[in-house]
A and B are shown apart, each in its own frame.
Chain A
Amino acid sequence: MRCSESSEMMSLAVDGMLSAHELRAMETHLSSCPTCLRQWQALQALSSLFADQALAEPTDGFAERVVLRMARRDVRRQRTRGAVGVLAGSATLCSGMLAILLGWFALAWRPLLEAVWNSVIQPCAWAVWNAGAAFVGALRAVLNAVFQRPTALFMSAYVLLALLAVGLWIYVMWRPGASLMLPDRARLGRR
Chain B
Amino acid sequence: MDQEQHWVALALHGDRQAFGSLVHAYQRPVYNLCYRMLGSAGEGEDAAQETFVRMYTHLGAYDPGQKLSTWILSIASHHCIDRLRKRRISWLPLDEIGEAPQVTSDTPHAEHVLIKESDRREVTRLLRALPADYRLAIVLRYWQDLSYEEIARVTGTTEAAVKSRLHRARQAMARQLLDRESVEAGSVGLARAPNKVGNHALL
Contact = CB atoms under 8 A, between A and B. Distances in A.
A49 B200 contact: yes
A7 B201 contact: no
A58 B174 contact: no
B119 A52 contact: yes
Interface residues of B, number: 51
A69 B19 CA distance: 13
A50 B174 CA distance: 12
B167 A15 contact: no
Contacts of A15: 141, 148, 166
Interface string B25-57: 001110110011000010011001100110010
Contacts of B167: 7-8, 11-12
B5 interface: no
Interface stretch (A36-44, A117-125, A168-176): A36-44
Interface in B127-157: 138, 141-143, 148
A14 interface: yes
A46 B170 contact: yes
Contact of B166 (A11, A48, A53, A58): A11
Interface of A is mostly: helix
B123 to A, nearest CB: 5
A73 interface: yes
Given A49-B200, A62-B23, A57 B123 contact: no
B87 interface: no
Given A11-B166, A51-B142, A55-B32, A46 B16 contact: no
Interface stretch (B60-68, B70-78, B88-96, B191-199): B191-199
B189 interface: no
A67 B53 CA distance: 8
Contact of A44 (B123, B142, B163, B202): B202
Interface of B: 16, 19-20, 23-24, 27-29, 31-32, 35-36, 41, 44-45, 48-49, 52-53, 56, 98-99, 116, 119-120, 122-123, 126, 138, 141-143, 148, 163, 166-167, 170-171, 173-175, 177-178, 196-203
Instruction: Report, nearest first, the 3 A-B pairs whose CB atoms are least far apart.
Output: A45-B200, A42-B174, A41-B201
Given A14-B170, A46-B126, A46-B170, 6 more contacts: A10-B170, A43-B170, A46-B174, A53-B142, A55-B143, A56-B31
